[in-house]
């Protein structure tokens, strides 16, 4: 490999790294703030088996309010596989990935703001 070819290869690699770092930085700055404290709301319990799907149907709300996942969910127990607007609800579907218990909390916020106006909580036990 001659010097010029090596220089071009290094230059291309450096540009690729710079573009990747810029994309990561932009993704972080465009991320929604976390949902803040959740108000009181109903809590439901669900029992299922590993490999099964669990769906949560949350009612649409007016005035730009949207349901957001409010807290981290243990991926060893549940992983989100889809989300859709179905009729008057937003439905989130998770796959039970392994035995254990996971808390799933949703907060109703105005857009991607942190203040929660409503909350729904679920405790999912996977056997």
The span from the CA of 78 to the CA of 123, in Å, is 11
Q: Are 114 and 35 in contact (CB under 8 A)?
A: yes
Chain centroid, CA 17 distance in Å: 26
What's this model's pTM, rounded to 2 decimal places? 0.76
End-to-end CA separation in angstroms for the chain = 58
- State the chain's mean pLDDT as an integer: 87
- Mean pLDDT, range 12-32, rounded to an integer: 53
pLDDT band at 8 (very low <50, low <70, confident <90, very high): low
DSSP summary character for residue 62: S
φ and ψ of 26, to 5 deg: -65, -40
Distances from the Cα of 109 to the Cαs of 5, 11, 21, 30, 127, in angstroms?
54, 45, 30, 17, 33
Of the chain, the percentage scoring pLDDT greater than 90 comes to 75
- Mean pLDDT, range 33-41, rounded to an integer: 97
- Mean pLDDT, range 72-100, rounded to an integer: 98
Decide if pLDDT at 105 tops 90: yes
């Amino acid at each position: 490999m001659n010097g010029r070819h090596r220089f071009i290869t290094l230059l291309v690699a450096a540009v690729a790294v710079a573009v990747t770092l810029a994309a990561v930085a932009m993704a972080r700055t465009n991320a929604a703030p976390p949902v803040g404290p959740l108000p009181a709301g109903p809590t439901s319990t669900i029992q299922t088996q590993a490999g099964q799907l669990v769906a949560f149907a949350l009612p649409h709300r007016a005035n730009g309010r949207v349901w957001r996942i409010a807290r981290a969910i243990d991926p060893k127990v549940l992983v989100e596989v889809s989300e859709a607007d179905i009729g008057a609800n937003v439905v989130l579907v998770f796959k039970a990935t392994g035995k254990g218990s996971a808390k799933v909390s949703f907060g109703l916020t105005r857009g991607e703001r942190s203040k929660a106006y409503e909350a729904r909580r679920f405790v999912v036990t996977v056997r």
